[in-house]
Structure 1
Amino acid sequence: MSSIPSRILSAKRVLDNQVRALIPDFPFDYGQYLADKGPAPLGRIQPQHHGQQVLVVGAGVAGLVAAYEAMRMGLHPVLVEASGRIGGRLYSTAVNDSVPFERGAMRFPLSGQALMHYFSKVRMRDNTEDFPNPGSAAAVSTVVDYADEKYYYEVGNDNFPRPPAFENIEIKFFDEFLEQAPIHFKEMEQAMSAGTIDQAKIKLLWNAILREGWDNLSFHAAMVEQARWPADEINLFGQIGFGTGGWNTDFPNCFLEVLRVLYTGLDINHLLMRDGADQLPLRLWQQPAAAFGDDSVFWPQNMTVEELASAFPGNPLRQEVRQIKRLAADEGGGFEVLCHDLQSGRDQRLRYASVVYTPHVRILDKFRYMNGVEGLEASRSLLTQQQWEAVMYTHYMQSAKVFAATREPFWTQRGQDGKQLMSITLSDRLTRGTYLVDYSRNPGAYKGSGIFLSYTWNDDSLKFLGDRQDGLPQHGQLCTALLDQVYPGLDLASHFPATDPFVEINWENEPFYLGAFKMNLPGQYEYQRLLFSQFKEGSDGSAVDGFILAGDDVSWTGGWAEGAVTTALNAVDKLATRYNNGFSPEGGPIAQWDPLKPAALADLQIKR
């Protein structure tokens, strides 16, 4: 999402009630499922399939969770990646050999219990701190720069109270608008809270929203047509969100996308991983299951996903999968995969019995056209026509970050007016979201401090693309100029290192990606249902199809690592079913599919 808000008035309630991210479309409790499994593999496969190679495409968190759990069941995951690195959009790099620049995901909600399970498994939960979202206690202080006015406040400090207008608009949104029928926010939240989880209630409430046709509303349309807010309140809300973070870059997206995040508590109570976010997939890649106290079958105790991937003929981390062809029974079945080696330039066609595909799904569609009509026909049977339509209409969000290392966390000092020298900052101008991070007390490898000078989303991030090569200041300099105007006398540049302080990323411009993440537009519920359900319903008319989509593209919560992890678990459940004579693991997502599956709009008698 865009600048993530911190719901000041309800964040503690969500934390105390242990709200779980039970996505209302399919409210399977992945966190409880993993806890119930303990150290045991997630499924049991028939012994004759031990060592069976499975191609896993993509080395992000979805690919690594899928490969790690497949290895523990006794399969042979062969993981390939094009970019040359492990992590996907969990991507941490050191600036000035000290402070990490989190290029991708950087804040992780506690309600995402499946993701937290893996952070705990690889021992990253022991080195975390609350992420300093604007308006949160971890931020200490927040400045909102809006309509040429500046507002400074600190949570819990009566000397610098939160502006009443900000608090009032949060109350109006949560306690008035979101409590109306059919949303019933607190009732849904209770049904997702530990001790009162009610999956049937979640489905009942959510299907009522679908039945009322809310899939056809954008976020902005919902505020105009349903909340009936005036333009000035919508504009203020778009900048400060639920009292803090702006949401106006999300206004074109479907309102259901917003509701999913709010219901599940994904928008608040975030952790910062001081070891660097990409350590999660890296540790799953490099370390054996025994190192995490996990059981596994067939493989030696010291086996790793990295070692198994070395079976690939070439560098597995420089392979671009350009075509996947389903083979007929008389061709031996399985899949023929065209891999392009980005180091040697060589193409090779390899066969695998199963493929788990985790990258942006529209890449899969784009490569269908590389070999003309022959290539298009070869890939046609990989998905149904309806599933291909869903792939082709997947909508992606952009994202850009501009970062600078600092000599010290100077913002902890206070001026003569008692205010911090600098704050987490939300602006309606160039920078949009500005975040301050301090690793100086980190016991791990990363040290130092830095500033996300700008963190912005959707088409707003495009302003950092298309620059001329000569005669234009760096984006870091442009952001610094604005922040110096917000904080007179600060002289922000004096706090930067003497050389090369700036680094940035724009996911619209990254090789092998199509932007930052998927985000559905109004009217795209059915497309999303088809993509998510593919793991269960298959693409070849059988319940044990060997081609499986995973990753946050096919999840109901694009942009959240929780969705990447849970869809990887779906893929693992499908592999366990495929290699156990069609019998699904007890208690898994396939076993609970029928009562929880996403509703087809055609079955709900939608009101128009």
Structure 2
Amino acid sequence: MSQPRTTAPAVTCFGPDFPFAYDDWLSHPAGLGALPEAAHGAEVAIIGAGIAGIVAAYELMKLGLRPVLYEQGRLGGRLRSERFAGAEDVIAELGGMRFPTSSRGFYHYLDLVGLDTAPFPNPLSPASPSTVIDLEGTTTYIEGTGPLPPFFAEVQSAWAEALEQQSGFAALQAALRARDVAALKSLWNPIVAAWDERTFYDFVASSPAFARLSFHHREVFGQVGFGTGGWDSDFPNSMLEILRVVLTELEDDQRLVIGGVEQLPRRLWAHAPSRLVHWPAGTT
């Protein structure tokens, strides 16, 4: 989809580098595409039976090809859920565990195989409405229903201000919401040129919003962070990586898969599509 939308839907992983409406494509009534009849039944090798490999195999099978997956371990790749002997209702996610609702392609397949989700208990989220921060011997208890303590509110405000001052964040996200490719690229491409070789820490340290505060504010921003936790381990990374995360709200509204996310690749492996080319009905 390359034309702007007339309404402003929720933020999705539409861009910003290579804007494409994967959710619209996946849900299109005509399917993902078509192959010439002469290609039907042709084998296609897929290396790895992680979620990417299984999704690729599933969609290629629907088009009439014969995907052959090669996997040395078990299905699922980094979507791996472990149960414990004697406590079958306890599940440990050893790979992916938090899935933002902006990732519409992922939720397309969750819905397809009938899996349910619940809010992930990130600090101060509805599923975990209070938290304790213990920093340098000072303990602070915070409840999500009330205002942040003044110091943490200053850090939060500085981060929001820095994003707006140095990336034009509001306009950028508005273009992303509207799926206005021309507007999005006109805003994003200069940011790429300016920040491709500059770090997350450079962004924070050089921002007027943080510059007028103490160094301790910057420290706390790294240690406590925003969204799901501290970000100081990402300070050496390119600022573009961080902007991609916050712009598409990958740190917001995260959910877990009830019963374990490994169910997704396993159910997809056994799922018989309602629309299938070449293969008999019921093929998985």
Is this a same-fold pair by TM over 0.5? yes
The residue identity in structure 1 corresponding to 2:221 is F
The CA deviation string for residues 35-55 of structure 1, in whole angstroms up to 9 with x for no partner, is 2x23x4411101111000000
Task: Select which of 124, 137, 145 maps to 2:126.
Answer: 137
Alignment of 1:382-401 (within 5 A): none
Aligned-partner Cα distance in 2 for 1:244–1:70: 36
Between Structure 1 and Structure 2, whose CA radius of gyration is higher? Answer: 1
Whichever residue aligns with residue 76 of structure 1, its letter is: R
Alignment map for 1:228-267 (pairs within 5 Å): 229=211, 230-242=214-226, 245-267=229-251
Q: Which residue of 2 aligns with 1:44?
A: 34
Report the counterpart of residue 170 of structure 1 in structure 2. Answer: 156
Letter in 1 for 2:249: G
* Shift in Å, 1:264: 0.6
* Cα shift at 1:17: 5.0
**C-alpha separation in 1, matches of 2:282 and 2:169:** 48
One-letter code of the match for 2:135?
Answer: Y
RMSD over aligned Cα, in angstroms?
1.7
1:137 aligned counterpart, secondary structure: coil
- Matching residue of 1:56: 46
- Describe the superposition over 1:184-230 as per-residue Cα deviations: whole angstroms up to 9, x where unpaired: 1111111122xx32111111111011222x01111112212345544
Does the 8 Å CA contact 1:167/1:243 hold for their aligned counterparts? no
Task: Quickly say closer, same or farther: Cα 1:244–1:90, change in 2 above 3 A.
Answer: closer
1:64-83 equivalences under 5 Å are: 64-83=54-73
Alignment map for 1:495-510 (pairs within 5 Å): none
Alignment partners' CA distance in 2, 1:280 and 1:104: 13
Query: Are residues 1:269 and 2:260 paired?
Result: no
Return the alpha-carbon distance in structure 2 between the equivalents of residues 286 and 244 of structure 1.
34
Pair 1:211-2:193 in alignment: yes
Query: Secondary structure at the residue paired with 1:237?
Result: helix
1:300 — aligned with what? 280
- SS of corresponding position for 2:141: strand
State the 1:114 CA deviation.
Answer: 1.0
Q: Secondary structure at the match of 1:192?
A: helix
Counterparts of 1:165 and 1:225, CA distance in 2: 20
CA separation of 1:244 and 1:265: change in aligned 2, threshold 3 A: closer
Q: Distance in 2 between matches of 1:130 and 1:280?
A: 17
Residue of 118, 138, 144 corresponding to 1:149: 138
Partner SS, residue 58 of structure 2: helix
Q: Within the alignment, does 1:102 sit opposite 2:93 as a pair?
A: yes
Equivalent residue for 1:23?
15
Amino acid at match of 1:48: A
**CA distance, structure 2, for counterparts of residue 64 and residue 244 of structure 1:** 29
Aligned residue number for residue 5 of structure 2: none
The Cα of 1:244 is off from its aligned counterpart by 6.1
Q: Which residue of 2 aligns with 1:184?
A: 168
Superimposed CA distance per residue, residues 500-556 of structure 1 (whole angstroms, 9 cap, x where no aligned partner): xxxxxxxxxxxxxxxxxxxxxxxxxxxxxxxxxxxxxxxxxxxxxxxxxxxxxxxxx
8 A Cα contact 1:215 1:254, kept in partner: yes
- Distance (Å, rounded) in 2 between the aligned partners of 1:34 and 1:164: 45
Q: Distance in 2 between matches of 1:187 and 1:94?
A: 45
Aligned to 1:485: none
| TM norm structure 2 | 0.91
Mapped partners of 2:228, 2:101: distance in 1: 19
2:131–2:143 contact (8 Å) kept in structure 1: yes
Matched, 1:200 2:182: yes
CA 70–244 in structure 1, closer or farther in 2 if over 3 Å, else same: closer
Query: Per-residue CA shift, 1:398-444, capped at 9, x if unaligned?
Result: xxxxxxxxxxxxxxxxxxxxxxxxxxxxxxxxxxxxxxxxxxxxxxx
Assess if the C-alpha contact under 8 Å between 2:98 and 2:254 holds in 1: yes
3-state SS of paired residue (1:25)? coil
SS in 1 for 2:142: strand
CA distance in 1, matches of 2:163, 2:36: 49
Say if 1:55 and 1:77, in contact at 8 Å, map to a contact too. yes
- Give the equivalent residue in structure 1 for 2:4: none
Give the gaps of 5 or more residues in structure 2: 1-7
Give the distance between the partners of 2:227 and 2:113, measured in 1 at CA: 35
How far apart, in 1, do the equivalents of 2:253 and 2:185 lie?
25
Return the offset for 1:94.
0.7
1:156-199 deviation digits (Å, cap 9, x = unpaired)? 1x4xx53222222111111x211114x11111111122xx3211
User: Whole-Å Cα distance in 1 between the matches of residues 94 and 164 of structure 2?
Assistant: 36
Which residue is equivalent to 2:110?
119
Q: Gapped runs of 5+ residues in structure 1?
A: 1-15, 305-608
Superposed CA deviations along residues 575-597 of structure 1, whole A, max 9, x for unmatched, are: xxxxxxxxxxxxxxxxxxxxxxx
Output the CA distance in 2 between the equivalents of 1:243 and 1:109. 11
CA shift, 1:116, in A, is 1.2
Q: Who is 1:596 aligned against?
A: none
Q: Work out which structure has the larger RCO, using CA pairs closer than 8 Å and 6 or more positions apart in sequence.
A: 2
CA distance, structure 2, for counterparts of residue 197 and residue 33 of structure 1: 14
CA contact (8 A) 2:227 2:252 kept: no
Partner residue in 1 for 2:3? none
Give the residue type in structure 1 aligned to 2:185.
K
Using the alignment, how far apart are the partners of 1:70 and 1:267 within structure 2? 31
What CA distance in whole angstroms lies between the structure 1 residues aligned with 2:226 and 2:254? 15
Q: Which amino acid aligns with 2:157?
A: I
Cα gap change, 1:25 to 1:244, in 2 (>3 Å): closer
- For the Cα contact (< 8 Å) 1:59–1:86, is it kept in 2? yes
Residue 408 of structure 1 is matched in structure 2 by none
Answer yes or no: is 1:92 the counterpart of 2:81.
yes
Hey, what's the Cα distance between the residues in 2 that align with 1:244 and 1:63? 28
Letter in 2 for 1:224: A
SS at match of 1:144: strand
1:284 aligns with 2:262: no
Note closer, same or farther for the CA distance 1:162–1:17 as it changes in structure 2 (3 Å cut): farther
